Structure 1
Amino acid sequence: MAKKDYGADSLTVLEGLDAVRKRPGMYIGTTDTQGLMHCLWEIIDNAVDEALAGACTHIVVTLHKDGSVEVADNGRGIPVDVEPKTKLTGVEVVLTKLHAGAKFGNASYNAAGGLHGVGSSVVNALSSRLDVEVDRNGNTYHMAFHQGHPGVYTDADPEHPSPDSPFRKTRKNRPTELEIIGHVKPKTTGTRIRYWADPEIFNDTARFDYDQLIDRVRQTSFLVPGLKLDVVDERIEATGDEHVDELIENDIGAAQAAAAETADDEDAAIVRASAGDDAIARTEAENMQQQAEAGAATTLEATVSPQPDAPTPGHRRLEEFCHTGGVVDFVDFLSQGEPVSNIWRITGQGTYHEETQAVDEHGDLHAQDITRACDVDIALRWVNGYDTTIRSFVNVVATPGGGMHVDGFLNAVTRQVRKAVEDNARKLKVNLKDAKMKVERDDILAGLVAVVTVRIAEPQFQGQTKDVLGTAQVKPVVTRIVDRQFAEMITGSKRGYKEQSSRVLEKIVGEMHARIQARKTKEVARRKTALESASMPPKLSDCQPGNDDVAELFIVEGDSALGTAKAARNSAFQALLPIRGKILNVQKASLAQMLSNKECAAIIQVVGAGSGASFDLSQARYNKVIMMTDADVDGAHIRTLLLTLFYRYMRPLIEAGHVYAAVPPLHRIALTGPRKGEYIYTYSDDELAGKLEQLDRDHISYADDIQRYKGLGEMDANQLADTTMDPRTRLLRRIRMEDAERAAGIFSLLMGDEVPPRRQFIVDNADDFDRSKIDT
C-alpha cells in the first residue's frame, strides 16, 4: 500500500556519477554488447579528437588477457593542473564530472566527436576499475578509480593490476593527488586509459566484439588520413620467435609510452611512412602476424571476465591501419561489384550562423550568435548492382541514421541527376511528356557507394548515441557545395567525366525503367487478384447453382445472338457470356494490357479459376467452355483469338479437354410436300451442294429459297437450340493440344508480332489448303 505522506524525505538525490550507474541506458543505450562497445567508442573517440586537432599521430587499442581494454594515444595528454572552479586536477574533472571537458568552447577543439562531456566520465562510472596515465611536463601521472570514485588500489603485483585488489576511496570533497610514477622526455605527451567493465552493470551476454572493433578502427583510419591505429590482442599468445616478438613489443611500447619529440618530427614520420620507409619492418610484422594466425583458435569474442582456460580468438595478435587517401580509399574499400564510374570527390567549406550558449569569464552561460565553419568531404561512385552503401560521419563519428548532412547531399544529387536526364532525354530515350518517367531517388541510389563527412564545431546530435546529425544549418551548406561540383561531374562538363557521366545516367535511367515495369507488374497482380475475386460481369446470364459437373459456359458473339441464346438455352446448366466483336490478341499484348481489356477480364472472372501460373483447374466454375460464334471468317477469327487467350492464360482448360467450339449451321433447307415442316441444316457450301443432289436423287421436294444464316442472331430460339445448344442434337468440336511445344510455335507464328514468318507460312501452305479442316 502506498504511503500517505509525501514530503522532502521521500526524495532521493543522486550525486556525481551515481545517476549514471542507476540509469546506464540513458547514456550508453543498453547494457549488453552494444553498450559495452559504446563505452569503448567513447574512449577511442577522445583519442581521435586529439588527432583531429593535429596533436596525435598514433593510437593503440589493447585487449588484455584479464578482460580489460586499454586505449593509448600520443596526443597532448589530459591536463594535470588544477581546475580553478572545482579545485580538482584536470584528470579528475574529466573522469568524474558529467558535462565537463575542453569541447564546450572553441579554443581547444574546432571539430570533435566527443562533445557532450559525458563520455569518459560515463565509462569511468560503469567500470569496476579504471586507470589513467598521462604524459606531460616530463612526468608520467597516474590515477585510479573504482566505479567512478577516485582512490588508491593496492595491487599485489603492480605489473598485473586487478579490479579485485584492495581499494581506498578518497574522502568526499577532497582532491585526489596525482601520483607521479615515472619520467619522460619533456616534449613527450599522451594519455593511456585502461578500464575493466563492471559486471554489476553489464549483463551476461555483453562481449567485446572484435570484428566491430576492427571495423571501427579501419573506418577511423580512412577518415583521418595519416593517423596510425593499432589493435593488439594480448589474449593471443606470442609467436615464440624472439625477434618477431621483440618487433611487436617494441612497436606497441613505442605507441603506448613515447611519441615524436616535436610536431615537425611527427609530420616527418607520416611522410616517411607514406613513402614506404617502413617496408622492411612492416614485412617482418606481417610475417609474425601470419605465424600467430596459424596457431590461433576460432573464438572471435572475449568475455568481460574471461576464464583462464578460455580459447584464444582466431585472428592476428596485431592489426595495423593507416591510410592516406581519406574518403576516396574508404569508398574503394566499400565498393563491391564492377564499377560504373571512377570515384568522384567533392570537397569544400561553407559557413553558417548558430546561436549557442557560451560561458563567460564569470562562468555564466549566455546566448551568442556564432559563425561556424563547415568542412565537407564526400566521395562517391556507382557500381553495377542494386545495393546502396552510404556511410556518413560528423567529426569522425559515424551517423548510421544519417541526418542533415546526408539530406543535403541526397537533395543536391537528386536534383542534378534529374536535370541531367532532362537535358539528355533524347539520347537516353526518356519521354518527358510521360509523367511516370521521372527519376526518383531510389533509381539514383541503386549501386551508389558514398562516404559523406562533415567537420563542424559543437554539432547537435539526436541523443548521446549520436546516430543522427541534427544541426539544421549544415544541410544548405552541403547542398550548395554538392550542387556546384556534382553538376560539373554528372553533366560531363568537367574534364575527364563525360564518358563516366554517360554510363552513370544510363544506369540510373535503366533503374527507372525497371522500377516502372515492376510497379506495373505489381498493379497487374493487384488488379488480377481483385479481378478474380470480384462480382460477376452484369452481362453474364449464369446457370443455376449445383450443376458444376455438367455446367456449360457459352461465350457468345454479339448481343443479338445473346437474346436468341437466352431463349434457346437450358438455364439449369447453361450460362451465357456475350463478347463484343474481336477480343485483344493476347499473343502480342502484355499481361497488363490483357487484364485491361474488358472482354478478356470478364472471361477470366467468369471462368473463376484464375489465370497464368495461378490458374487452378479445380476452381473452374464450368465443366465445358464453348465458343459460340458466327459460321464465317470473322467468327473463325474470334475463335482463334479466344483460343489464344485460353492457351496463354488458362492452358489447363485446353489440356484437360474442357474447351469446345460450337458448330452452328450455315444453311437451312425447308422441305415441302409430304415432309413440309421439316428442316435440314448444312454446315458448309460443299455439304449444301451434296445434300441438294441427294434430295433431287431421292425426289424429295424442298423450297427453292434456301436460307443462308449470316449470323447466330438470324436463328430463332428453337433453331439455335436444335442445331447448336441442345446436347442431344448439337455438334461440338473439342479443342485438343497433343504437342505443347508445337502448339506454342503455331500460336507464336500465327498470332505473334513477326509478320514475315506468318506471310511465308501462308505462301508455303497455300497449295495444301484443305477446306475440310476448318469449320466454315
Structure 2
Amino acid sequence: MTSEYSAHHLQVLEGLEAVRKRPGMYIGSTDSRGLMHCLWEIIDNSVDEALGGFGSRIEIVLHADGSVEVRDRARGIPVDIEPRTGLTGVEVVFTKLHAGGKFGGGSYAASGGLHGVGASVVNALSERLDVEVDRGGKTWAMSFHRGEPGNFAGDSPDAVFTPFEKSSELRVAGRAPRGVTGTRIRYWADRQIFTKDATFHLDELEQRARQTAFLVPGLELVIRDERRVPSGEAPVETSYRYDGGISEFADFLAPDAGVTDTWRLTGTGTFAETVPVLQATGAMIPTEVQRECVVDVALRWGTGYDTVMRSFVNIIATPKGGTHQQGFEAGLMKVLRGQVEQNARRLKVGTDKIEKDDILAGMTVVLTVRLPEPQFEGQTKEVLGTPAVRQIVSNVVSKELTALFASPKRDDKAQTALLLDKVVSEMKARISARAHKETQRRKNALESSSLPAKLVDCRSNDVGDSELFIVEGDSALGTAKLARNSEYQALLPIRGKILNVQKASVSDMLGNAECASIIQVIGSGSGRTFDLDTARYGKIILMSDADVDGAHIRTLLLTLFFRYMRPLIEDGRVFAAVPPLHRVIVVNAGSKANETIYTYSEQELHALLAKLTKAGKRWQEPIQRYKGLGEMDAEQLATTTMDRAGRMLRRVRVSDAESAATVFELLMGNDVAPRKEFIVESSAGLSRERIDA
C-alpha cells in the first residue's frame, strides 16, 4: 500500500483477462456450483435453439478424463466471417465478450442467453475447449487454450499448444451429411481457476435436464456418465423427454393428493420498451420497440400445507422470483379475495381477510413467461426485473382464474368450491393460532406446573447461556447429574427409541409421552405454531451412546426436530454430543503420573497406538471400549462430553431443507421400496471392519 495513487496504478483488463481475473462475477463461485454454471451456459445455448424449433435432441457426456461434451442437431454456430471483427462466427462467439445472436437481431424470439458472455466465459475458464460445427456439408473445427485460439499437438489438454500468430484458422475437419447441421463442444475446466474438489454432480445435472425437458415439450435430453465405469460395463445413460409440458411438471412436483386438478392459465400481453438498437453504422440509437410476453402457468392445490413454486423466464429458472412472480401473486390474491367476499355467507368468514399465505398453502405452481431480451439482475439470472411483466402476468392470471370460477361445468364448480373451503380453513387456523399465541404466557421452570417430573432443570434463566441435554436412558442420567454444571446445564432423560414421527400422525406424536415431554420442556410449541423466541434453552444437545442404537435414537430425535421444530435447526441451536469410543491410559516411567487419552474412532485409536509404539511408550491393557455413556464415571463424562472447556459438539444444520426432507423421507418414511433400494445399492460401500460384532 502506498499513499501515491495516479493513472499508472490503473489496470485495463483486455478481452477474456477480466473473466480469469474475476471469475466469480460471471459464474458466481469457483467451486462445484460455478463449474455446473459453466455447463448450464453451454447446454442453455442448445436449448435456446430447440426453443426456436431447431433440433429436438441434446446429448451431454461426462467423459472419464474430466471433460464434458454437449452435442446438438440445431443450426450450428455461424462459420462465415463477421464483418466488424473479420473473425469467423465461431471465434467471435468463443473469444469476444458481449457477442452473439441474442441482442435483438432476429435470430431468437426468446432465449435464456442475453448478455453474449456465456460461451466466451466457459472458454476463458477452460484449459482446453474444442468445438465442431456441421454446416454446409462440412465439419468445421477450432480449439482454444484458456480462451486463446490455436492448435494442439494431441487429444489431451496437456498436449503441446501452438497459438495462431498472424490470423486464426477455422479448419475443415471432415464432411457432414447433406442437410445435417449441429454443434459439438467439449471442454476441460481449468484447474488453475476451480477448486480441487469442484466436480460435476450427476444428480444435479439430471434434475436440471428433467426440468428443461418439462419446460420444452418434445425436446429430448440424454445424459451419459462415462466416469468410474467398471471395465466391460456400459456407461450410465439417462434420457428425459416429456410431451405434457408444465402441467406434467406440476404433477411431478406436487407432494400431496390433489384438491383440484392441474389448471392451465395461458395468455399474452404486449408492452413498449425503449432499448438501444445497434444500427448498420455501428451506433447505438435508443428506440421504442413493441414486446410480446407469453404467460403460461400450471397450478394445483393439494391436501397438504407446503407451497412448491417454480418460476422461469425463457426456461431459465428464477429461484428468487421477480416481477413475473409478483404479478402472479397479485392476480391470485385479487381473484380469491373477491371470490371469498362473494361467498362470505356460505364460508362464514365474517370481516376477516385472507392473506397470501392462506392462498399459497398446499399450492404447487409452475410459472413461465417468454419474452425477448428480459432484464435480469446479474449474469446468474436469478431475479427478473422487467417492470411491465408484472401487470401482464397479473392480468392473465386474473382473467383465466375468473373464467374458471364462472365456469358452468360441474367439475369446475366442485373444485373451486373445495378450493375456497381450503383457503378459508387456512385463514381460520392462522387467526386461531395467532390468538392462542398472543394469550400464551411464558413460564420458566419454577412457574410451570406442566413440565415433566423427570426434567433436571438448571438454575440460570439466561436462555442464551443455557443448555438442554437430551440423555439416553436413566443410567446415563445418573452419571450426567454428577458431571453437569447445574448452573446452566439441564437434563431430560428419554426412554430408548422414541416414536418415528416421519410415519406417525400429528395426534400420535402429541400422544407419545417422550415427544410431548421434549416439546413441553423446550417450551416453543410445535409445527406451524412453533415460536423460536419462546425457547427456554440456547442449545439443545442430543447425548446418545456411540453405537448403532445411539445413532438410531439420534436420527429419531432429529426427525422430530426437523418435522416439528425446524426453526431450532435452522437457527443452529441443535447439537449432537460426541462421546469418546476408547480410553487409553499411557504408562509413564518413574513417578510421573500416567496420561489418559480419549479417541473417537477406530482409525484414531490405531493411529494413536502406532504413535505410542514408535515413541517406545506402553499403555495399560485392555483398552477400555465405551459401549454407552453409563460406562463412564462422572469425571470422565464431564471431561469428554459435557465440560465446555474440553468437549466436542457437532452442530446440526439444514443448508438445504428440500434435500434434507427427501433424505428423512427415504430413511424414515412410509414408503419401503426406495429405502430397500438405497440399502441394496449402498451395501457395496460398507466396510465390514466397521461392523461391531
TM range (shorter): 0.5 to 0.7
Tell me the equivalent position of 2:344: 425
- Counterpart of 1:469, as a letter, is L
1:379 lines up with 2:298 in the alignment: yes
Superposed CA deviations along residues 638-676 of structure 1, whole A, max 9, x for unmatched, are xxxxxxxxxxxxxxxxxxxxxxxxxxxxxxxxxxxxxxx
Please state whether the residue corresponding to 2:411 is helix, strand or coil: coil
**Cα distance in 2 for residues equivalent to 1:331 and 1:320:** 20
Shift of 1:67: 0.7
1:2 aligns with 2:5: no
Q: Is the 8 A contact 1:345 1:377 kept in 2?
A: yes
Q: CA deviation at 1:9?
A: 3.0
Aligned length: 450
- Give the partner amino acid of 1:466: K
Instruction: Give 1:240 deviation, angstroms.
Output: 5.0
Q: Deviation per CA, 1:64-99, whole angstroms, max 9, x where unpaired?
A: 000111111111000000000000000000000000
Distance 2:336 2:192 in 1: 54
What's the offset of the Cα at 1:10? 2.4
Larger Rg: 1
Deviations 1:566-611, CA, capped at 9 Å, x for gaps: xxxxxxxxxxxxxxxxxxxxxxxxxxxxxxxxxxxxxxxxxxxx9x
Following superposition, the deviation at residue 124 of structure 1 comes to: 0.4
Match of 2:164 in 1: 170
Partner of 1:700: none
- What secondary structure is seen at the aligned counterpart in 2 of 1:207? coil
Aligned 8 A contact 1:348 1:375 in 2:
yes
1:520 has 2:435 as partner: yes
Residue 433 of structure 2 corresponds to residue 499 of structure 1: no
Q: In 1, Cα distance between the equivalents of 2:307 and 2:81?
A: 50
- Alpha-carbon distance in 2 for matches of 1:106, 1:457: 11
Q: Distance in 1 between matches of 2:20 and 2:8?
A: 22
Question: Shift of the alpha carbon at 1:495?
Answer: 6.1
Measured against aligned partners, the alpha-carbon deviations of 1:399-447 in whole angstroms (never above 9, x if no partner) come to 0011111111111011111111111112212113xxxx21100011111
Is 1:33 paired with 2:27?
no
Aligned with residue 253 of structure 2, among 326, 334, 338:
334
Question: Structure 2 CA distance, aligned partners of 1:459 and 1:116?
Answer: 10
Three-state SS of the structure 1 residue aligned to 2:78 is coil
Aligned to 1:77: 76
Alignment counterpart, residue 186 of structure 2, candidates 164, 173, 194: 194
Please state whether the residue corresponding to 2:200 is helix, strand or coil. strand
User: 1:87 touches 1:175 (CA, 8 Å); kept in 2?
Assistant: no
Instruction: Give the TM-score taking structure 2 as reference length.
Output: 0.63
Alignment partner of 1:180 out of 172, 177, 201: 172
Q: Distance in 2 between matches of 1:61 and 1:18?
A: 28
1:469 matched residue in structure 2: 384
Distance in 2 (CA, whole Å) between partners of 1:43 and 1:175 is 26
**Cross-structure match for 2:133:** 134
Partner of 1:107: 106
Q: 1:11: Cα distance to partner?
A: 2.4
Q: After the TM superposition, which segments of 4 or more aligned residues of structure 1 sit over 6 Å from their partners?
A: none
1:505 CA drift (Å):
1.0
Note the C-alpha offset of 1:384.
Answer: 1.2
For residues 50 and 196 of structure 2, the distance between their equivalents in structure 1, rounded to whole angstroms, comes to 35
Aligned match of 1:324: 243
1:392 counterpart residue number? 311
Q: Distance in 1 between matches of 2:193 and 2:49?
A: 29
Q: Distance in 2 between matches of 1:31 and 1:236?
A: 24
Answering whether residue 221 of structure 2 is matched by residue 229 of structure 1, we say: yes
Please show how residues 549-698 of structure 1 align to structure 2 within 5 Å: none
Shift of 1:238: 7.7
Question: Residues 491 and 501 of structure 1 are in contact (CA less than 8 Å); yes or no, is this contact kept in structure 2?
Answer: no
- The structural deviation recorded for 1:230 is 0.4
Tell me by how many angstroms 1:203 deviates: 1.1
Q: 2:208 aligns with which of 210, 216, 219?
A: 216
- Paired letter, 1:453: T
Show CA shifts across 1:222-281 (max 9, x none).
00000111001112538958xxxxxxxxxxxxxxxxxxxxxxxxxxxxxxxxxxxxxxxx
| Aligned residue identity for 1:320 | S
2:440 aligns to what SS in structure 1? helix
Q: Which amino acid aligns with 1:150?
A: P
Aligned: 1:406 with 2:325: yes
Aligned position for 2:400: 485
Task: Give the secondary structure class of the aligned counterpart of 1:373.
Answer: strand
Q: Aligned-pair distance for 1:170?
A: 1.6
Q: Report SS of the residue matched to 1:469.
A: coil
How far 1:186 moved relative to its partner?
2.7
Amino acid of the residue matched to residue 56 of structure 2?
A: T
- SS of corresponding position for 1:497: helix
Deviation at 1:489, TM superposition (A): 1.9
Shift of 1:3: 5.9
Distance in 1 of aligned mates of 2:317 and 2:405: 27
**1:169 shift after superposition:** 1.2
Separation (CA, whole Å) in 2 of partners of 1:19 and 1:438: 53
- Residues 526 and 206 of structure 1: CA distance in aligned 2, closer, same or farther (over 3 Å): farther
8 Å Cα contact 1:63-1:234 kept in structure 2: yes
For structure 2, the residue ranges without an aligned partner over 5 or more in a row are: 449-522, 527-693
Partner of 1:66: 65
C-alpha separation in 1, matches of 2:337 and 2:104: 42
Matches within 5 A, 1:679-718: none
CA contact (8 A) 1:417 1:490 kept: no
Distance 1:10 1:383 in 2: 62
Measured at CA, do residues 10 and 239 of structure 1 come closer, stay the same or move farther in structure 2, by a change above 3 Å?
A: closer
- In 2, are the aligned partners of 1:389 and 1:448 still within 8 Å (CA)? yes
Compared CA separation, residues 477 and 175, structure 1 to 2 (3 A): farther
Scaled by the length of structure 1, what TM-score is found?
Answer: 0.56
RMSD (Å) for aligned C-alpha atoms: 2.2
Separation in 2 of the partners of 1:505 and 1:498? 11
Aligned match of 2:122: 123
Give the aligned residue type for 1:371: Q
Paired with 1:431 and 1:149, the residues of 2 have a C-alpha distance of 70
1:416/1:490 contact within 8 Å kept = no
| 1:151 corresponding residue in structure 2 | 150
Q: Is the 8 A contact 1:488 1:494 kept in 2?
A: no
Partner of 2:282: 363
State the alpha-carbon separation in 1 of the partners of residues 442 and 274 from structure 2: 55
Counterparts of 1:373 and 1:179, CA distance in 2:
40
Distance 1:130 1:332 in 2: 39
Distance 1:19 1:397 in 2: 25
Deviations 1:271-327 (A, max 9, x none): xxxxxxxxxxxxxxxxxxxxx6xxxxxxxxxxxxxxxxxxxxxxx711001111110
2:424 maps to what in 1? Answer: 509
Task: Pick one of 445, 448, 466 that aligns with 2:360.
Answer: 445
Partner of 1:416, secondary structure, is helix
Read off the aligned partner of 1:2 and give its amino acid letter: T
The aligned amino acid for 1:112 is: S
Distance in 1, Cα, partners of 2:106 & 2:321: 28
Amino acid at match of 1:325: G
| Per-residue CA distance 1:89-116 (angstroms, 9 max, x = gap) | 0000000000000100241001000111
Q: CA offset at residue 336 of structure 1?
A: 1.3
In structure 2, the partner of 1:734 is none
AA paired with 2:173? I
Q: Deviations over 1:497-549 (max 9, x none)?
A: 111111111111111111111111221225779xx89xxxxxxxxxxxxxxxx
